[in-house]
Structure 1
Amino acid sequence: MKTNKINRYITVAVLTSLSIFSQALAQDYPTDSLSYYIQVAIENNPGVKSQKYAHEAYLEKIPQAGAYQDPELSLEAYTMPMEIIGGRSIGNVSLMQMFPWFGTRKAARTEATHMANMQYQQYREAINNLILQVSTQWYTMQKLNEQLRNNQENKALLEQLEQLAIRKFSAPSSTSQSSAAPVVSSNTPSSTTSSSTPSGMGGMSMGGGNSAPATNQNMSMPSGGGMGAMEGGSGSGMSEVLRIQLEIAEIENNIESLHAQIKAEKAKFNALLNREANEEVMLGQEIHKLNFLYSEEEALRVIETNNPMLEMITEEGLAFKAKAEMDRKMSYPMIGIGVEYMVVGKTNNSMLAMDGMNGKDMVMPMVSVSLPLFRKKYNAQQNESRLWRKSSEENFKNTFNTLKSEFYSLKSQLDDAQRAIELYEKQTTLAQTTYNLIVKEFVTGKSDLTNVIQVQRQLLDYQLRKAEALANYNTMVVSIKKLLADHK
């Protein structure tokens, strides 16, 4: 009994210490960190609280299982005292206490303790599931936040490109007008005309070149050729500006869509923390890749020894073992010890009166023994407990195999995400370099806008895919750590 009380006090003390420690951690963590929100969720989530109270309720079953049966007190009173030898019987008072066979109460407390431990493992599993949900939701929001930042950066790039296109569109017009006037006013040789036209850009260079041979034949042709080139350059330049504005409009729509998605995901995140949907969530600046240092052998070993589902099945098997022992003890006789007090009055009948005994109360010790004669019932109880224990052993093996399969599946997805991150990092770097080069070529007229926009789209696509791969990688890491019950 003392050992049971000590174990119970230790359990309560550990739970209290964990609660105080979690509150201290929640205060130390930055408010924009995942660890802070996990601690808030553990303290506030109704599902976790429900499992915590269920565990505390199971702890209260331990003293119930080890308690004695209530003593039986019986009172008898005679309305008309009965004449007996040595006096008149007025009434009886009896008290009886039954005691189970030696070791029965200990086995019952052991069973209740293992049942409470099993409920505690369910509480741990609820915490692990909550941590996984909070972490997954956190990385989803970080992914969307990173994609939002990528879209905003690409919008800024397109706006810079728009300014370049506008300057490119404006420059040829002034050049054409300045180069066309001298041709009209004087008979400049064709060599002079051709040497002056390269200073123009884009379509105006072509216009100046085409008008040069016609200068000696018709003085009005350079003017007409220059205007045609200017109009062609204006149409081409304006279409480039409009195409860039179309790309900007699409990215602006993506930005608005991402804002709406982030708002919805924050509402789901706050629901896990049992907070209002519009409560502000402080996300980090950018998504960071988590570290995963477990080898395959070490991970499987930790799963087998630390996973709450397996520990719950282990505790269940130990509870059935203790129940089988209790059923065996219950098949033995129970012993009852009691006392009966008889109230005796004096009698006037000389025949029944006894010298020195007339009217003297009587105390009678009593002992009773139960007779468990129906053995089939007790044998069936013990067989039932043994079968349940075998069932839990097979359930342990089956659950462990399922967890191993889940681990290998998650590990494969983790490796895929790692390869995807490396690929998208390389592609993003190459796309950024290509974009910088092709913008310079676009400015100098060596490349058209279609190539620039295509590379810009590839750059944005690789950035978005990289953010998604990082989020998937981190989600796989926390999923594996959930199997290992590792919250570091």
Structure 2
Amino acid sequence: MLKFIKMTANTKKYLFLSLVVLFTTSIFSQENLNNYLEIAANNNPALKAKFNDYMAAMEKVPQVGTLPDPTFAFGYFIQPVETRVGPQRANFNLMQSFPWFGLLSAKEDVATEMAKAMYEDFENTKSNIFFEVKTAYYNYYFIEKAIEITKENIEILQVFKRLSLVKIEAGNASIVDELRVELELNDLENQLELFLDTKDVLRIKFNNLLNGEAVSEILVPDVLWQEEIPLEQLNMLDEIYTSNHQIKSIEHKLNAFLNQEIVAKKEGLPKFTVGVNYTIVGENPMSTASDNGKDVFLFPSVGVKIPLYRKKYKALIKEAQYRQEAEISRKEDKKNTLSSVYENTYKDFNDGDRRIALNLRQSEIAKKVLDILIVSYSTNSKDFEEVLRIERQLLKYELEHQKALTDKNAAAAFMDYLIGQ
């Protein structure tokens, strides 16, 4: 018989407050997860290593964009060289080399693009760590719910056991009913121990991602919220191609090798040197010249370095061109891989969404069937095996419902990773 409940003012108020509490709990739980992500961003050692790699690459820019060090030479004449104006006693020479115009800026562009590629590697590592933290968080939520659901089912089986004992004492049931309950209890208690051990492993893994204390407790919600994918399927794939950090890293490397070709061409052009020369001259007592004993200052002296052996520079140009072709092919391969991964993740997301609704419906039906079977067993001692079978199904549906929630959110988290969030 169906029962219709009249919605009184108190009932409406209770439902409203329940929804407010559920919504507030979800918001607070997402804030907890965001806090964990912030801790991971600040503390994770793998992320720190990638950031230091990027900072080191940035320091390469001023190194390659600076003129070569000047050359200073000093010569002392043990046997002074006699000249008309006096003996030359010592000689000072300062030379500065200058590459072809634009070579240093091209080298800076190469180093800058490679540093940008390292930065995208850092961002990709951060996105991957965020995905791992989210997935570990969702899995920890699932194991908490699995423990809770399993304990509730153990309590239900304890009720079944007491009910069967009462009926056995009354001569209305067989001892087989009690033994069947014992079998189910043993399986559930063993499963519970496994869940408890898994919880410890997941807690340690989660805290290692945050580089925190392994004993720290993890705050998870009573009911896990459901993440959604904000864009249409084709738009999401376009966003991945545009925003994925691995593709961005490849693009920066491609730009670096384009500039490397420019560097190779300019390396094959002449280089110039400009210098000054200062000679210390002693006085010649036999000379009456006006510049007698006057030091000699020569400015400027100019030299040209001509790269005659072209094989080396041609090879440098070809090397840069081959590397460009390699990055172009690598980018195309990465896009193909990301497309396949995206389609599979999108399938997992939709599957999780379907399983959430399915297992929720199945749980509700199984609860109704179980209530009916319990009443039937209480009155005529029949269908006890069916009671246990439906109870097992109910446990399965409840666990599958929670697993579907975590799988859907994990798929959404991987989508975030693919688009570089």
Taking the aligned partners of 1:43 and 1:29, their CA distance within structure 2 comes to 21
Taking the aligned partners of 1:397 and 1:67, their CA distance within structure 2 comes to 36
Secondary structure of the residue aligned to 1:369 is strand
The equivalent residue for 1:409 is: 344
The equivalent residue for 2:308 is: 373
Secondary structure of the residue aligned to 2:226 is coil
Taking the aligned partners of 1:159 and 1:30, their CA distance within structure 2 comes to 33
1:484 CA displacement: 1.1
Taking the aligned partners of 1:30 and 1:355, their CA distance within structure 2 comes to 96
Task: Give the alignment partner of residue 227 of structure 2, picking from 290, 296, 299.
Answer: 290
Change (3 A) 1:88 1:30: farther
Letter in 2 for 1:299: M
The equivalent residue for 1:40 is: 39
The equivalent residue for 2:218 is: 281
Q: Does 1:311 align with 2:245?
A: no
Q: Between Structure 1 and Structure 2, how many residues are aligned?
A: 394
1:66 CA displacement: 0.6
Task: Give the alignment partner of residue 240 of structure 1, picking from 165, 177, 187.
Answer: 177
Q: Does 1:395 align with 2:394?
A: no
1:75 CA displacement: 0.4
Taking the aligned partners of 1:409 and 1:244, their CA distance within structure 2 comes to 42
Q: Does 1:250 align with 2:187?
A: yes
Secondary structure of the residue aligned to 2:96 is strand
Letter in 2 for 1:285: D
The equivalent residue for 1:434 is: 369
The equivalent residue for 1:159 is: 158
Taking the aligned partners of 1:132 and 1:354, their CA distance within structure 2 comes to 89
Change (3 A) 1:354 1:315: farther
Asked whether the equivalents of residues 95 and 273 of structure 2 are also in contact (C-alpha less than 8 Å), the reply is yes
Q: Does 1:148 align with 2:147?
A: yes
Q: Does 1:59 align with 2:44?
A: no
Task: Give the alignment partner of residue 364 of structure 1, picking from 281, 290, 298.
Answer: 298
Letter in 2 for 1:262: K
The equivalent residue for 2:321 is: 386
The equivalent residue for 1:93 is: 92
Taking the aligned partners of 2:325 and 2:179, their CA distance within structure 1 comes to 75
Q: Does 1:474 align with 2:417?
A: no
Taking the aligned partners of 2:296 and 2:104, their CA distance within structure 1 comes to 34
Asked whether the equivalents of residues 32 and 281 of structure 1 are also in contact (C-alpha less than 8 Å), the reply is no
Per-residue CA deviations over 1:360-384 (Å, capped at 9, x if unaligned) read 0110011111111222222221222
1:167 CA displacement: 4.9
The equivalent residue for 1:219 is: none
1:67 CA displacement: 0.3
Secondary structure of the residue aligned to 1:116 is helix
Secondary structure of the residue aligned to 1:94 is strand
Q: Does 1:346 align with 2:283?
A: yes
Q: Percent identical across equivalent pairs?
A: 28
Letter in 2 for 1:105: L
Letter in 2 for 1:88: P
Taking the aligned partners of 2:28 and 2:87, their CA distance within structure 1 comes to 83
Taking the aligned partners of 2:333 and 2:129, their CA distance within structure 1 comes to 24
Taking the aligned partners of 1:312 and 1:422, their CA distance within structure 2 comes to 40
Per-residue CA deviations over 1:73-126 (Å, capped at 9, x if unaligned) read 000111232211211101110111111111111111111100100100110111
Per-residue CA deviations over 1:408-452 (Å, capped at 9, x if unaligned) read 122122222222222211111110111112212222227432221
Letter in 2 for 1:355: A
The equivalent residue for 1:355 is: 289
- 5+ residue gaps, structure 2: 1-26
Taking the aligned partners of 2:160 and 2:150, their CA distance within structure 1 comes to 15
Taking the aligned partners of 1:286 and 1:149, their CA distance within structure 2 comes to 12
Taking the aligned partners of 2:174 and 2:277, their CA distance within structure 1 comes to 116
Asked whether the equivalents of residues 166 and 237 of structure 1 are also in contact (C-alpha less than 8 Å), the reply is no
Letter in 1 for 2:352: A
The equivalent residue for 2:117 is: 118
1:239 CA displacement: 4.7
Taking the aligned partners of 2:65 and 2:81, their CA distance within structure 1 comes to 43
1:144 CA displacement: 1.3
Letter in 2 for 1:332: L
Task: Give the alignment partner of residue 259 of structure 2, picking from 322, 330, 333.
Answer: 322
Using the size of structure 1 for normalisation, the TM-score is 0.76
Change (3 A) 1:446 1:242: closer
Asked whether the equivalents of residues 29 and 219 of structure 2 are also in contact (C-alpha less than 8 Å), the reply is no
Q: Does 1:484 align with 2:406?
A: no
Asked whether the equivalents of residues 98 and 334 of structure 1 are also in contact (C-alpha less than 8 Å), the reply is yes
The equivalent residue for 1:49 is: 48
- 5+ residue gaps, structure 1: 1-27, 174-231
Asked whether the equivalents of residues 140 and 471 of structure 1 are also in contact (C-alpha less than 8 Å), the reply is yes
Secondary structure of the residue aligned to 2:380 is coil
1:56 CA displacement: 0.4
Per-residue CA deviations over 1:111-164 (Å, capped at 9, x if unaligned) read 110010010011011112211222222222211111111112212222333444
Taking the aligned partners of 1:159 and 1:32, their CA distance within structure 2 comes to 38
The equivalent residue for 1:190 is: none
Letter in 2 for 1:128: S
Letter in 1 for 2:252: E
Taking the aligned partners of 1:397 and 1:238, their CA distance within structure 2 comes to 68
Asked whether the equivalents of residues 89 and 281 of structure 2 are also in contact (C-alpha less than 8 Å), the reply is yes
**Larger CA deviation: 90-99 vs 272-281:** 272-281
Taking the aligned partners of 1:247 and 1:329, their CA distance within structure 2 comes to 80
Asked whether the equivalents of residues 29 and 220 of structure 2 are also in contact (C-alpha less than 8 Å), the reply is no
Asked whether the equivalents of residues 29 and 221 of structure 2 are also in contact (C-alpha less than 8 Å), the reply is no
Change (3 A) 1:272 1:73: same
Which is higher, the Rg of structure 1 or of structure 2? Answer: 1
